[in-house]
Amino acid sequence: MAITQLATRALFYEVALYPKPGLVDPIDNGAHHDMDLSTFMDSATALMPALYEFSDAGLTYPLDAPLPGLFDEVRQIGLTAEVAMYAATNHINTHKGAIFSFALLCSAVGHVLATSQIELADWTKANTDAVFTTIAQMTQALDHDFDNLASKDKLSYGEKLYLDYGIKGVRGEAAAGYPALRDYGLPFLRRTQNTPRHVRLLDLFLELLANTTDSNVIHRSDMATLRRIQHQVQALLAQGGIAKLGVEPMVQLNKEFIALNISPGGTADLLAASVFLGFLEKLF
């Protein structure tokens, strides 16, 4: 149950963080007109049973069985989780991307606990690294999702993104063992433990937005807009980020994103995932 609680807390931390450019937070709804803070809270609460099932699947999966089988299990649980989400939100997509990532993270954490024979209280960076390796092994077949796309009649948005830009989105992120979390999210949290939490999370958001390819931004605009935004954010980080500049740059980014109808939902999911693993490593 502890894994479930930490995952749920991470989802709440993400939506409660403000100001988040273009995203729902306690102050405004960003570039969204069909959801607000309560929509996300209802959704996150509705996902708790699935979060438990994800972690339990990992804890109980046979230690000698091929890991793609665990992915098959949690993928089915994830479909049920989507139904619960839509029922709680009146058919609004609040957490579909997060369901995918937390299915992998929670089940991989459970599996690492089982294989390492440790308690959650004893979790270390080495165990987090094992989670990334486990996820890569679970999802090794995802790269094949992009084979022969040119001959398909109907393409998903993610598939069109791959054909247009070579971007594999969250599926590619998972198959690579979540480099966004491994190389940016967790290292940032480890080196900023003395920074006030609110400021730290805002700068974590900027760190992830600057260094990962948010397909939601591309979907609502184009690649050139994403790259321009990333240059802006990298410049803010180079000046010391929110820790040095205060929240005003985030307020201005929020106004810009709302005007452009941009919502970096992929970055929000990565922030929640980073926070979840940060909880495990006791970085908060």
pLDDT at 151: 66
In percent, the amount of the chain with pLDDT more than 90 equals 86
Alpha helices by DSSP H, listed for 117-222, are 125-138, 157-165, 169-175, 179, 186-191, 197-211, 215-220
Question: What integer best gives the mean pLDDT of the chain?
Answer: 94
The answer on pLDDT for 155 being more than 80 is no
Burial class (CB in 10 A: 0-12, 13-18, 19+), 55: buried
Mean pLDDT, residues 114-118 taken together: 97
Mean pLDDT, residues 170-189 taken together: 96
pLDDT at 115: 97
pLDDT at 187: 99
- Alpha-carbon distance of 120 to 113, in angstroms, equals 7
Q: What does the pLDDT look like over 230-270, one tens digit per residue? A: 999 999 999 999 999 999 999 999 999 999 999 999 999 99
Per DSSP, the three-state class of 213 is: coil
Those residues with Cβ within 8 angstroms of residue 80's Cβ, 6 or more apart along the chain or in another chain:
50
The answer on pLDDT for 161 being more than 80 is no
Mean pLDDT, residues 195-206 taken together: 98
Mean pLDDT, residues 133-143 taken together: 94
- Alpha-carbon distance of 83 to 244, in angstroms, equals 43
pLDDT at 136: 98
Burial class (CB in 10 A: 0-12, 13-18, 19+), 100: buried
Confidence band for 282, pLDDT divided at 50, 70 and 90: very high
pLDDT at 142: 86
Q: What does the pLDDT look like over 65-84, one tens digit per residue? A: 999 999 999 999 999 999 99
CB distance 70 to 82 below 8 Å: no
Return the biggest CA–CA distance within the chain: 52
Which of 137, 145, 181 is CA-nearest to residue 162? 145
Give, as one character, the DSSP assignment of residue 95.
S
Tokens of 159: 């598939």
Q: Which residue has the higher pLDDT, 142 or 205?
A: 205
The answer on pLDDT for 164 being more than 80 is no
- Alpha-carbon distance of 253 to 166, in angstroms, equals 27
Helix or strand run (H / E) with residue 82? helix 68-89
- Alpha-carbon distance of 146 to 195, in angstroms, equals 41
Confidence band for 150, pLDDT divided at 50, 70 and 90: low
The answer on pLDDT for 32 being more than 80 is yes
The answer on pLDDT for 188 being more than 90 is yes
Burial class (CB in 10 A: 0-12, 13-18, 19+), 162: buried
Which of 279, 55, 90, 89 is CA-nearest to residue 189? 279
The answer on pLDDT for 146 being more than 80 is no
Look up the pTM and report it: 0.95
- Extents of the domains making up the chain: 2-280
**Angle between the N-to-C axes of helices 2-16 and 48-60, in degrees from 0 to 180, rounded to the nearest 10:** 140
